[in-house]
């Protein structure tokens, strides 16, 4: 069996000389042959086998290419794009060299290429055509199309399949974030709050599980499309888990009457941040005074809570339960600084008293922002640099699937290790970026990893 080698036209084979050491010359060259720097991708391969991610994502596409002339299967292309992102390769141009990597080749249909002039994996042009899936079958050069509803459903199916039995209660965290743009992309608008041209993607998480990653224009309200997204999620979840209790949690950008009214009509609980105004602050004036007195007496921050009914003048259809946090912080000079905050909820006060509702339930939503950072900073979900918004949405989904794969690895394989709560970037650095020599024989593929790798004990567990 031929071992895929480095790309000859781009390989830097000449010797690179460095300062000598201990009377010896130090030289280097990119001529090691079947050597990889990503041997840890074997773990990703096992995680994929556990949840069948690549096969299920590939099933969301329709391949209109001539089978007799197809060199790289749809599954191979989808797999190498997701694995490449998980390994830190955000650009399709990276795959012109990665397609020769002997470990990444294990994600293809076969180590031996279908044609002698090709590699086991696809190059940048092939992946580019994949990402620019057409609207219909009329494009002569782009014959692969994606079923967008199927992709959205798959995120929820993967979440449901990750549970051996239905939980009693789940909390769905909603948030919108900025995706800065630096070109002339379709759907590009300036956002006053973020101070840049950007997209405004909508994310929904349940703990570590990603359920929605929807790309949106930024000239909209943060909650735009939230009712439709939540209705779809709740319907799909309840079809599998009819008795599960669902709680929506989000910041004040989602405290809109439409979302709250829908939740009340469909037996869904919610706890949402509520932007403060003079009426709300006035409602907790006594509690603010008490907190101020306590802060002045102790020199430490103090907080009190108040539970009351509130209705806006014209935007809400009814009065709702609001919990106000009357907090006095202490600045560097020791002077009290007021910090009133509010949440609106339909949860009963008997089950969730004011302090517990705010401190234990609502404040826990901050963990979701760490998951968004993983997607954007570690897995390049903000790499939406193509011209068309449809292809940028597909890029966001590929990055999101890479997150799902790494989250599955963390959930299934790492609970007993020091990396049980590690971020995607840390998992990549500690467990995936491993140098190895790859030997391929008739009967086996042997990956000889670096003996000095410091995280080999956790890797082996």
Is the pLDDT higher at 65 or at 137?
A: 65
Q: What is the mean pLDDT of residues 76-102?
A: 94
From residue 255, how far is each of 224, 345, 355, 364 by CA, in Å?
11, 10, 20, 17
Which helix H or strand E contains 145, and what residues bound it? strand 144-146
Each residue's pLDDT tens digit, 347-362: 999 999 999 999 999 9
pLDDT of res. 135: 59
pLDDT of res. 10: 52
**Cα 408–chain centre separation:** 12
pLDDT of res. 3: 45
pLDDT of res. 14: 73
Q: Under a CB-based contact definition with an 8 Å cutoff, are residues 82 and 57 in contact?
A: yes
Maximum Cα–Cα distance across the chain: 84
Contacts of 35 (CB under 8 A, 6+ apart): 102, 435, 436, 437, 438
pLDDT of res. 1: 38
Return the half-sphere exposure (C-beta side, CA atoms, 13 A cut-off) of residue 126: 21
Six token digits for residue 369: 């922002």
Q: Under a CB-based contact definition with an 8 Å cutoff, are residues 197 and 184 in contact?
A: no
11 pLDDT exceeds 80? Answer: no
pLDDT of res. 331: 75
Categorize the per-residue pLDDT at 137 as very low, low, confident or very high, splitting at 50, 70 and 90: low
Is the pLDDT higher at 15 or at 130?
A: 130
**SS3 annotation, 303-350:** EEEEEEEECCCCCCCCCEEEEEEEEEEECCCCCEEECCEEEEECCCCC
Work out the end-to-end distance of the chain between its first and last CA atoms, rounded to an integer number of angstroms.
Answer: 31
Range of lowest pLDDT (124-138, 408-422, 427-441): 124-138
Contacts of 408 (CB under 8 A, 6+ apart): 47, 50, 51, 53, 162
Q: How many whole angstroms separate alpha carbon 377 and alpha carbon 85? A: 11
Is the pLDDT higher at 403 or at 11?
A: 403
Each residue's pLDDT tens digit, 266-305: 999 999 999 999 999 999 999 999 999 998 888 889 999 9
Return the half-sphere exposure (C-beta side, CA atoms, 13 A cut-off) of residue 120: 22
pLDDT of res. 201: 97
Q: What is the mean pLDDT of the chain?
A: 91
Share of the chain above pLDDT 70, in %: 94
Categorize the per-residue pLDDT at 6 as very low, low, confident or very high, splitting at 50, 70 and 90: very low
Pairing type for strands 269-273 and 245-250 reads parallel
Phi-psi region of 391 (alpha: psi -120 to 50; beta: other; left: phi over 0): alpha
Provide DSSP, 245-288: EEEEEE-GGG--HHHHHHHHHTT-EEEEE----HHHHHHTHHHH
Q: How many whole angstroms separate alpha carbon 233 and alpha carbon 246? A: 10
Categorize the per-residue pLDDT at 15 as very low, low, confident or very high, splitting at 50, 70 and 90: confident
If DSSP codes are grouped into helix, strand and coil, which group holds residue 127?
Answer: helix
Q: Under a CB-based contact definition with an 8 Å cutoff, are residues 71 and 113 in contact?
A: yes
Range of lowest pLDDT (24-28, 211-215, 216-220, 309-313): 24-28
Relative orientation angle of helices 41-51 and 389-413, to the nearest 10 degrees: 90
Is the pLDDT higher at 30 or at 64?
A: 64
Categorize the per-residue pLDDT at 134 as very low, low, confident or very high, splitting at 50, 70 and 90: low
Six token digits for residue 165: 């039995």
338 pLDDT exceeds 60? Answer: yes
Q: How many whole angstroms separate alpha carbon 38 and alpha carbon 89? A: 11
7 pLDDT exceeds 50? Answer: no
pLDDT of res. 138: 60
Most confident range (mean pLDDT) of 6-10, 99-103, 132-136, 403-407 is 403-407
Categorize the per-residue pLDDT at 9 as very low, low, confident or very high, splitting at 50, 70 and 90: very low
Label residues 64-94 b or e (16+ Cβ within 10 Å = b).
Answer: eeeeeeeebbbbbbbbbbbbbbbbbbbebeb
4 pLDDT exceeds 60? Answer: no
33, 35, 37, 40: CA torsion to nearest 10: 150
Q: How many whole angstroms separate alpha carbon 345 and alpha carbon 321? A: 6
Question: Residue 312 burial (CB < 10 Å; 0-12/13-18/19+)?
Answer: middle
Q: For the full predicted model, state whether its pTM sits above 0.75.
A: yes
94 pLDDT exceeds 90? Answer: yes
Six token digits for residue 132: 């620019």
Is the pLDDT higher at 414 or at 334?
A: 414
Is the pLDDT higher at 87 or at 113?
A: 87
CB atoms closer than 10 angstroms to residue 351:
9
């Amino acid at each position: 069996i031929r071992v895929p080698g480095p790309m000859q036209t781009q390989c830097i084979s000449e010797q690179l000389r460095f300062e000598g050491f201990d009377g010896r010359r130090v030289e280097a060259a990119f001529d090691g042959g079947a050597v990889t720097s990503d041997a840890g991708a074997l773990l990703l391969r096992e995680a994929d086998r556990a949840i069948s991610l690549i096969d299920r994502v590939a099933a969301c596409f329709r391949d209109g290419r001539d089978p007799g002339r197809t060199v790289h299967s749809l599954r191979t292309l989808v797999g190498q794009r997701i694995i490449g992102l998980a390994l830190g390769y955000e650009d399709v141009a990276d795959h012109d060299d990665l397609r020769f990597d002997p470990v990444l080749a294990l994600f293809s249909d076969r180590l031996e290429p279908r044609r002698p002039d090709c590699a086991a994996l696809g190059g940048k042009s092939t992946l580019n055509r994949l990402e620019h899936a057409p609207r219909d079958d009329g494009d002569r050069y782009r014959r692969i199309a994606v079923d967008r509803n199927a992709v959205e459903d798959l995120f929820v199916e993967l979440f449901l399949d990750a549970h051996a039995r239905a939980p009693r209660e789940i909390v769905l965290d909603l948030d919108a974030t900025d995706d800065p743009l630096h070109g002339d992309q379709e759907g590009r608008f300036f956002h006053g709050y973020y101070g840049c041209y950007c997209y405004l993607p909508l994310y929904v998480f349940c703990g570590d599980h990603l359920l929605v990653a929807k790309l949106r224009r930024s000239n909209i309200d943060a909650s735009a499309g939230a009712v439709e997204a939540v209705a779809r999620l709740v319907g799909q979840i309840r079809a599998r888990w009819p008795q599960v209790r669902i709680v929506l949690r989000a910041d004040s950008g989602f405290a809109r009457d439409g979302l709250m009214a829908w939740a009340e009509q469909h037996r869904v609980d919610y706890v949402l941040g509520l932007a403060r105004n003079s009426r709300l602050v006035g409602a907790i004036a006594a509690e603010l005074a008490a907190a101020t007195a306590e802060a002045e007496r102790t020199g430490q921050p103090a907080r009190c809570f108040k539970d009351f009914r509130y209705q806006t003048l014209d935007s809400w259809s009814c009065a709702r339960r609001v919990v106000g946090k009357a907090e006095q912080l202490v600045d560097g000079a020791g002077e009290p600084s007021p910090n009133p905050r509010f949440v609106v909820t339909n949860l009963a006060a008997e089950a969730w008293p004011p302090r517990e509702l705010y401190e234990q339930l609502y404040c826990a939503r901050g963990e979701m922002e760490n998951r968004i950072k993983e997607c954007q900073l570690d897995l390049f979900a903000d790499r939406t640099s193509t011209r068309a918004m449809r292809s940028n949405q597909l890029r966001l989904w590929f990055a999101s699937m890479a997150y799902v794969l790494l989250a599955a690895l963390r959930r299934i394989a790492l609970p007993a290790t020091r990396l049980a709560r590690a971020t995607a970037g840390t998992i990549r650095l500690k467990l995936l970026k491993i140098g190895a020599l790859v030997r391929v024989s008739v009967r086996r593929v042997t990956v000889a990893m670096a003996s000095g790798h410091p995280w080999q004990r956790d890797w082996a567990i």
